[in-house]
Amino acid sequence: MKHINKIRIITGVLLLLGLLIVPFTPPIQNYFTIPNKIITFQNQFPHNVPNLGKAVQVHASVNDNNDEAINASSFAFSEPGDRQLVYSVAGIPIKKVDVSVLKDVKVIPGGQSIGVQLQTLGVLVVGHHLVNGENGQMSPGEEAEIKVGDVIMEIDGQKIEEMKDVKPIVEEAGKASKPLEVKVKRGKETFTTELNPVKDKKENEYRIGLYIRDSAAGIGTMTFFEPKSKKYGALGHVISDMDTKKPIEIHDGTIVRSSVTSIQKGNNGTPGEKQAKFSIKENRIGTITKNSPFGIFGKLDQSIENGKYDKPMPIALSHEVKEGPAKILTVIDDEKVEEFDVEIVSSVPQKSPATKGMVIQITDPKLLEATGGIVQGMSGSPIIQNGKVIGAVTHVFVNDPTSGYGVHIEWMLQDAGVDIYKKEGKKAS
């Protein structure tokens, strides 16, 4: 009896050791790294999958002579569509991987310095001021509960597009002693309110007690353009009003060529800045139709060149970006686009659109000497890794100007209206 119990104990210990050791063996570890789904592009470099050893075969479930097995763990796909990779032992499937092969998408990276002008949708309220009227000081706009960040869309049924549209309406209503019916957009909500103009005793003009703005201007960097559609993306982040800190809703906009004249270097606690000159009336290169968390977008009037990468390049999805060396394209003098070394410190594979997908660090001695790292105006500088456009520089770390965030290119392309998930065959889930 004791002998049987001893055997049971030894068997139990061995089984326990087996359960503890087996998960740490290389084949089992590799098994757990096999993804459930792979998304890749046609006609790109072979896609590597985990290798479980000689006893385990991997093959594509759809063999239309378009999928090429380079070796036991590498596949190349020449046609878009859906298929499966099947791991099997002695013909028995042990793991299936869904594969979505997307139609090849190529863009031309930018790097050019650009001037940006946005025309707001309506006029933006950026502050209140007091009007010195007969009954004392007051702000009619504040009394009408119009807040900073609101957009005035219409006054008395007349559409407001520029600041100059407001004054004659206000003056007419003031002289007639009539209140104004103001249509206001606040976020996603639209409402009307009544506003009574007040005559300023000193200026002898009717005022509404609001500071308003109808445009914004600045500089940034071109990220990419798609040569067939002429669609482009730039900046990599939303343009917000300098006073309200809220995203600017645009009516239309323009991008122009810009020339960098000087650079204020960044240091800990103080971000640096490119100084540039541009003319909105001259050197126009495109329109702005969208201002989103992932940048500004529109169409180019003509193709542009950077002198470094002027031919279409493939893109990388977020899960294809690797930690390690990469390059950025940007301008630090005049209009000359240059290539600089950076390091991808980390990258987050993202299944849905999100900003700040990468952390990057400037490592190029020339760029560090010139700028101290990432500076304002560098936003949108394209990031290139392993022959692919992977994203754009977006933000600098205030306490470490050598480092900052980057956005993945797929989300910029999506907002530009370039459909990278369009495939022939079944639609990707």
Of 47, 67, 100, 237, which residue is the catalytic one?
237
Q: For this structure, is 47 an active site residue?
A: no
Q: Could you please report the per-residue DSSP string of 109-163?
A: E---EEEEEEEEEEEEEEEE--EEETTEEE-HHHHTT--TT-EEEEETTEE--SG
Burial of residue 315 (number of CB atoms within 10 Å: 0-12, 13-18, 19+): buried
- What is the DSSP code (8-state) at residue 9? H
Q: For this structure, is 259 an active site residue?
A: no
Euclidean distance between CA atoms 314 and 29, whole angstroms: 32
Tokens 């290119």: give the residue: 409
Structure tokens at 367: 């760029």
Euclidean distance between CA atoms 236 and 115, whole angstroms: 15
Give the long-range contacts of residues 25-34, CB within 8 A, separation 24 or more.
27/52, 27/53, 27/56, 31/95, 34/87, 34/95, 34/97
Contact between residue 232 and residue 165 where contact means Cβ atoms under 8 Å apart: no
Beta-strand pair 92-102/37-41: parallel
Of 379, 381, 395, 408, which residue is the catalytic one?
379
Tokens 């309110």: give the residue: 193
Euclidean distance between CA atoms 60 and 38, whole angstroms: 13
Q: CA angle at residue 424 from 420 to 425, to 5 degrees?
A: 125
Euclidean distance between CA atoms 216 and 398, whole angstroms: 24
Q: For this structure, is 67 an active site residue?
A: no
Of 165, 364, 400, 415, which residue is the catalytic one?
364
**Roughly how many angstroms between the first and final C-alpha of the chain, as a whole number?**
60
Q: Which residues pair with 67 in a beta bridge?
A: 77
Euclidean distance between CA atoms 42 and 64, whole angstroms: 14
Count of other CB atoms within 10 angstroms of residue 296: 32
| Active-site annotation, residues | 237, 364, 379
